[in-house]
Structure 1
């Protein structure tokens, strides 16, 4: 009983130390070290099977590590059961009790723990997520977005040290999902709890989180602020998974002051050394689609450029996407914002020049599999 009480009262940063989780011969999480500062909004981002949900389940106590430790502050949670931990989870499935009212659903936890004024705490939590006017309804009378807010209130009412969000918006339509992204960030800021959000949706992670960790094959490939991950990826996987990138395999030719030059599929390009994760030998050169300009005439200036042929033009509302085939056969994606100022009237088959500022380019270590996946996605 003393251990359970001590675990439940743990406070501080969430830490994972050398955590590995294996299922038979498959390693889902591989020697993971992670620090989530107390009071932060943290996102674990990655594709299905990367280990993010297994990591969350180990923090929740639903799985135990094969090796390593899970801690909050200096308190070791490893081996403790879910109900003993100061951790609550909000699932995509909501998991509300259908026979109870909204208010009783939210008050369920405090009532079971014999907390005084459980009903008042439930009312406060419902007001926080802005569904207090639905307190007397049953879950079946609510929309999906309303049910998700109730599920969040039910977790928040316990004031956990860490709140885990397991793909909580995955079942909602796009407009509602974006609305709740803003609401979740507001709520996290207001209550000041540690939120750990697991998702495969990079827009969702980048919209809400202070820090994003990109997972792949049970390991963290890169971790940092959303803008940092997007602007300066360190691996081909991150460059492809967080947004889209035009990537091309090349070879470094040399350095010129604070820049390196590389030959990429027949074109010489330059990259600032500060943006070059790979600086010698074989590299993967990258530039984001919105950083590339599409021109009818050869550009004048100091930027890098190459000639190509328009393959496709797609109007997406705020922007137009051009797919341009380069002499090497590679297809690049280029976004032009629709400003109605001298629009470029292009059609498939037109000859164009694409140009970019070298200050926006980057290099990462060459990963043949990721380079092939990028080429297949755009080609």
Structure 2
């Protein structure tokens, strides 16, 4: 916005030594987090990881067992929710059905006895491109339009911090993707600090400047989306933020630039700068889309890792890409994503194949190998079926 109505930037958020215990379990274990003013920050994790509890603590809907919450440098730990410069957008839009869109957006301004509430409501509706529907009722709008009204109602109050609690979960896939881009654009326009809680990895990576991956009440890793995806530090991050092929074995050779790991008699090399550990047994990984399938054994060199032979046990076409499951004796089952750039794949179910990838794309985890799962725990039904076929063979 250029006229100054939404020129106020958001405030930074600090969580210092936050613990939250409920009877019988601990939801958050010593959380320290700083979210810079004006950023789009995502808390990403599975159900029960503590992300929603964190959001409720910031909103003032729960109180921490210990620790401090600061917004814009001011401690708000003991303030009630209505005293905090915070607004929340929920998955359920919570719009008033008997009010028009304009009245819904102006509601909070009128309660606070702000000047010119309708003018301000019209302005924020123009921002979310819904001013032409100002006189409609919520039930006359699509799900995406209702979500934008809920967002407008939150933004119009000029909160220092906007909390988004799974805001797009009720939308269909196509509309959800559209709204991801729109939300990011709106955040850049208004300059507020957004804290977005989600379990949807694609949603987090599409919108957020910074992602914190949460697991069991702790932050496993935090950074820019590309950084977390390309260089995960733990098996949990590697498998929750996308999928990964993980292998565990002893380090058998090290140089100043690379380490080599023995995986069931096959050597996998990883750049030293991309490995969290360089001695003993370690877990290394490669993303499925980095792999290339070959029907003849490819040449191995310092720049290329090769694994195989293996056998294709499942082929799944998804439009943009095809997923292959390849069983390599002694190693296990690998996932390969191949972009569909040809009319017909040259690899079929049951074929013998080799896999190769650029050594520079591999990564090494910091996990104790005894604790790091070798493969993603979130196996889909096709993967499970393929495994059963192998066991029955």
Q: TM-score range by the shorter chain?
A: over 0.9
- Shift in alpha-carbon separation, 1:371–1:56, aligned structure 2, 3 A: same
Cα deviation, 1:186-229, whole Å, max 9, x if unaligned, reads: 00000000000000000000000000000000000000000000
- Shift in alpha-carbon separation, 1:195–1:97, aligned structure 2, 3 A: same
Q: CA deviation at 1:318?
A: 1.4
Q: CA RMSD in A?
A: 1.7
Q: CA deviation at 1:11?
A: 6.7
Any residues of structure 2 matched to 1:37-52 within 5 Å, and which?
Answer: 37-52=36-51
Q: CA deviation at 1:161?
A: 0.3
Cα deviation, 1:61-86, whole Å, max 9, x if unaligned, reads: 00111000000122000010111010
Any residues of structure 2 matched to 1:112-151 within 5 Å, and which?
Answer: 112-151=111-150
SS at 1:49 equivalent: coil
C-alpha contact 2:11 2:161 (8 A) present in aligned 1 = no
Partner of 1:170: 169
C-alpha contact 2:52 2:165 (8 A) present in aligned 1 = yes
Stretch of structure 1 that moved more, 273-282 or 200-209? 273-282
Q: CA deviation at 1:13?
A: 1.3
Partner of 2:4: none
- Shift in alpha-carbon separation, 1:249–1:160, aligned structure 2, 3 A: same
Q: Which runs of 5+ in 1 are unaligned?
A: 1-8
Q: Which runs of 5+ in 2 are unaligned?
A: 1-7, 388-393
**2:373 counterpart (368, 371, 374):** 371
State how far apart, in whole Å, the 1-side matches of 2:208 and 2:298 are: 39
State how far apart, in whole Å, the 1-side matches of 2:23 and 2:279 are: 40
Q: CA deviation at 1:282?
A: 1.7
Cα deviation, 1:161-192, whole Å, max 9, x if unaligned, reads: 00000000000000000000000000000000
SS at 1:104 equivalent: helix
What number of residue pairs does the alignment pair up? 370
Stretch of structure 1 that moved more, 33-42 or 243-252? 243-252
State how far apart, in whole Å, the 2-side matches of 1:284 and 1:301 are: 21
Cα deviation, 1:48-104, whole Å, max 9, x if unaligned, reads: 000000000010000111000000122000010111010000000011111111111
Partner of 1:6: none
State how far apart, in whole Å, the 2-side matches of 1:109 and 1:317 are: 45
Please, what TM-score do these two structures have when normalized by structure 2? 0.91
Partner of 1:63: 62
State how far apart, in whole Å, the 2-side matches of 1:310 and 1:216 are: 33
Partner of 1:213: 212
Partner of 2:338: 336
Partner of 1:293: 292
Cα deviation, 1:323-379, whole Å, max 9, x if unaligned, reads: 1000115100111111128x6422221111111111111111235454156267255
Q: Does 1:13 align with 2:12?
A: yes
Partner of 1:22: 21
State how far apart, in whole Å, the 2-side matches of 1:164 and 1:184 are: 12
Cα deviation, 1:297-341, whole Å, max 9, x if unaligned, reads: 111241111211111111111111111000115100111111128
Any residues of structure 2 matched to 1:74-89 within 5 Å, and which?
Answer: 74-89=73-88
Partner of 1:361: 362
Cα deviation, 1:237-291, whole Å, max 9, x if unaligned, reads: 0000000000111111231231111112331111111000122112111000011
Please, what TM-score do these two structures have when normalized by structure 1? 0.94
